[in-house]
Amino acid sequence: MNTPPNFTLDPTAKPLAKYAAFRKAGDFVFLSGVIAVEPESGLIVRGFADISKDAALRIGQTGEFSSDIKVGPVLAQSWFVLNKIQTTVESLGGEMKDVIKLVQYFKNLDHFALYSRVRNQFFQTVSPVSTVVEVSEMLPTKDILIEVEATVYLPQHRP
């Protein structure tokens, strides 16, 4: 574990380089790809120990080392990324039901089923349109297993 389990993170997405984490364009917000890295601390989520205990248990931590070491990295990264998207959307005045499209990048498409299980916890009523892509590698390290970009519809004048 890189940091204590109860560390405080800025909840909104931040860029890891010189690009915008998100941009508003009319009633739409476009989020850059979000990965399981906290820019301020340099934390790379590598497993259940790098997210809150409550979140780890909700997404499937069993306490069995052999099982958790295999599925922990993708489940923890899935939760971290979707939680970062959720808190960013909420900071802009929206909700997850306002996310209309996700593009999900995986190093291994076999991880999609585990990611999908976590995603369903964030999208319980309305599912976004989705695209899934397998890629050979993602920045900044080989530890990154998934990246998710989102398009959000936030009408300036809601009914």
- Does a structural domain hold residue 113? yes
- Does a structural domain hold residue 70? yes
- Does a structural domain hold residue 12? no
End-to-end C-alpha distance for the chain, whole angstroms? 46
- Based on its alpha-carbon atoms, the radius of gyration of the chain, rounded to whole angstroms, reads 15
DSSP bridge pairs for 148: 34, 104
Per-residue pLDDT 10s for the chain (159 aa) are 444 343 334 455 555 556 788 999 999 999 999 999 988 888 999 999 999 999 999 999 999 999 999 999 999 999 999 999 999 999 999 999 999 999 999 999 999 999 999 999 999 999 999 999 999 999 999 999 999 999 999 998 665
Question: What's the rounded Cα separation, in Å, for the pair 123 and 89?
Answer: 13
- Does a structural domain hold residue 117? yes
- Does a structural domain hold residue 8? no
- Does a structural domain hold residue 1? no
- Does a structural domain hold residue 17? no
Residue 139: domain span: 22-153
How many domains, in total, are found in the chain?
A: 1
Question: What's the rounded Cα separation, in Å, for the pair 90 and 84?
Answer: 10
> Domain holding 62: CATH number?
3.30.1330.40
- Does a structural domain hold residue 58? yes
